[in-house]
A and B are shown apart, each in its own frame.
Chain A
Amino acid sequence: MAAAAAAAPTRTEVLALFRSLLRTAKQFSDYNIREYTRRRAADAFRENRALADAPAAAAAFSEGKKQLEVAKRQALVYSLYAPKAKSVMELKVQ
């Protein structure tokens, strides 16, 4: 773990992870969970964007990858219990 954590992730890798998280977020059928996941990903990436040293960036990156796995599993679980009605937030106002 410590050996793997030494190298900082590249910009492309980070953006790819962010994109994967957003794509996974879109799979949640429940509006609240979907928006939370999207918001959580965006906030965490913004919070960690200025990480200067390589080990900290690498640690944040591997945490992000773990969270992506969590999100993927949860998307699957939530899909088994999809809400029967849409959230009022998803309806367009006339």
Chain B
Amino acid sequence: MAAAALRPAILRRIRLSPTPSLALAAAGAGASSHPHALARWLARPMSSHDAHLTREEVVDRVLDVLKSHPKVDPSKVTPEAHFEKDLGLDSLDTVEVVMAIEEEFKLEIPDMEADKIDSLPLAIEYVANHPMAG
């Protein structure tokens, strides 16, 4: 029962998109009779094309990451904002924000690239063009 109560929280955290979640349910249900069903489902999202993020989704999620940062005034966050000029962040905050964006999209941005990201347009551009962003 405890597991059932936790289910919505877990599902929300792992952000399954509708199709794979159905596949997971099917795989889970068939797991006893079909030991490889889950493995097959796990292998699928690795081929990237169908799971690609739309630009609107990237913009929304990047904005959410910025708004939830403790030092950012959520009302100032726009897709055009500059971290230091518009949001009043310093270089250390910028490192933290870029790291939070990495975490949100399950990316690892190399230092050379991360140093260049100093505004929302650049962050959105980077994530939207990244093939592994999820």
Q: A-side interface residues toward B, CB under 8 Å? A: 11-12, 15-16, 18-19, 22-23, 26, 42, 45-46, 49, 91-92, 94
Known interface pairs A19-B114, A91-B9, A92-B13. Does A26 touch B92 (Cβ–Cβ under 8 Å)?
no
Summed over the interface, the residue pairs from A and B with CB atoms below 8 Å come to a total of 32
CB distance from B10 to the nearest CB of A (A): 9
In the complex, residue of chain B having the shortest beta-carbon distance to the beta carbon of A21: B95
Hey, what's the 0/1 contact readout for B71-97 against A, CB within 8 Å counting as 1?
000000000000000000011100110
A-B contact pairs, 26 of them (CB 8 A): A11-B91, A12-B115, A15-B91, A15-B92, A15-B115, A16-B111, A18-B95, A19-B95, A19-B99, A19-B111, A19-B114, A22-B95, A22-B96, A22-B99, A23-B99, A26-B99, A26-B103, A42-B96, A45-B92, A49-B90, A49-B92, A91-B6, A92-B9, A92-B13, A94-B8, A94-B9
CB distance from A1 to the nearest CB of B (A): 26
A11 to B8, CA, bound (A): 44
A12 to B111, CA, bound (A): 9
Q: Does B49 contact A (CB under 8 A)?
A: no
Number of interface residues of B (CB under 8 A): 15
CB distance from B101 to the nearest CB of A (A): 13
In the complex, residue of chain A having the shortest beta-carbon distance to the beta carbon of B114: A19
CB distance from A43 to the nearest CB of B (A): 10
Tell me which residues across on chain A come within 8 A of B91, comparing CB atoms.
11, 15
Tell me which residues across on chain A come within 8 A of B99, comparing CB atoms.
19, 22-23, 26
In the complex, residue of chain B having the shortest beta-carbon distance to the beta carbon of A11: B91
B95 touches A15 (CB 8 A): yes
B92 touches A92 (CB 8 A): no
A22 to B90, CA, bound (A): 16
B6, B95, B96, B115 — most chain A CB neighbours (10 Å): B95
In the complex, residue of chain A having the shortest beta-carbon distance to the beta carbon of B91: A15
Tell me which residues across on chain A come within 8 A of B96, comparing CB atoms.
22, 42
